[in-house]
Amino acid sequence: MDRRLRQALIAPLRAVGLLPAAFRWYERLSARRAAGASDARTDDGLALPPPLLRYRVAGSTDSAWFIECGAAVFGLIEQQLAERGVKLSDLGDVLDFGCGCGRVLRHWRIVTGPRIHGSDYSAELVAWCDANLRFAQVSVNSGDPPLAHVESTFDLVYAISVFTHLSVERQTRWLDELWRVLKPGGYLLLTLHAASFRDQLDERERAAFDAGELVVRYREASGTNLCGVYHPDAFVRGAWTRAFEVCALVPAGTRANVLQDVYLLRKI
């Protein structure tokens, strides 16, 4: 849809405070167009989430892409840790923050050693994981901290396409909270709309981005895929390095099916 037309449709909904609800309706409509049974099985022997849940976490109902994208991100996590001498099997506790319906979480089933946890603000998504990904301990978090975990619990926390959809205020609170639950020296892996997405911004947004400012679209829909957040590298390295060391930046597309820029941070 043309962006100007989309904005014209969104404006009246925004004015009366119905934008988040309208977007949820749009998600359901898109999911209904998908074909295929919701109880299909995959090569890993695990259930496939129904189309609506896949759409909510991935913006697509394509089941093959859902599996392939999750596998690619899982592989990138493994690669980035291996480059720092860390094996997945040597980890203690791992948290998939914003686990959705298990797009990445499901791939931890093959790893022996770590205790796998998942957390999401959607009770519906967590319920699906709890019923179908029994190797993981999953729980519902609220829209704001704290998590139920004690401090210094995790060796690794990752958040895939989570900070790309959170308002500035929520990002700050959640970054502090993830720092709290990480062990000293623990790793935080985030996917962001960073430099690879600059060309998607309009002229005004690019100017702010180039000045090192966070760009946020549809702040009132924070927590949904409608809210889009763009992180300049200067912002990440300026605002976040008081608590974290930036270990790596992997641009989007460097690895097949990894569609956002990836930052690996280490708790100071």
Residue 231: which residues within 8 A CB-CB, separation 6 or more?
163, 192, 193, 194, 214, 261
Q: What angle do CA 243, 244, 249 make, to 5 degrees?
A: 150
Q: What angle do CA 230, 18, 164 make, to 5 degrees?
A: 15
Burial class (CB in 10 A: 0-12, 13-18, 19+), 62: middle
The answer, yes or no, to whether the previous bond of 146 is cis (omega within 30 of 0) is yes
What top-level class would CATH report for the domain 64-267? Answer: alpha beta
User: How many Cα atoms within 13 Å fall on the side-chain side of residue 56?
Assistant: 22
Q: What is the DSSP string of 105-126?
A: GGGGGG--SSEEEEEES-HHHH
pTM of the model: 0.87
* Tokens 């919701």 sit on residue: 38
Q: What angle do CA 6, 60, 161 make, to 5 degrees?
A: 85
Q: What is the pLDDT of residues 73-99, one digit of tens each?
A: 999 999 999 999 999 999 999 999 999
Q: What is the per-residue pLDDT for 223?
A: 83
What is d(CA 81, CA 76) in angstroms, rounded to the nearest whole number?
9
Q: What is the pLDDT of residues 189-199, one digit of tens each?
A: 999 999 999 99
Query: What residues of the chain score a pLDDT lower than 50?
Result: 1-2, 5, 35-40
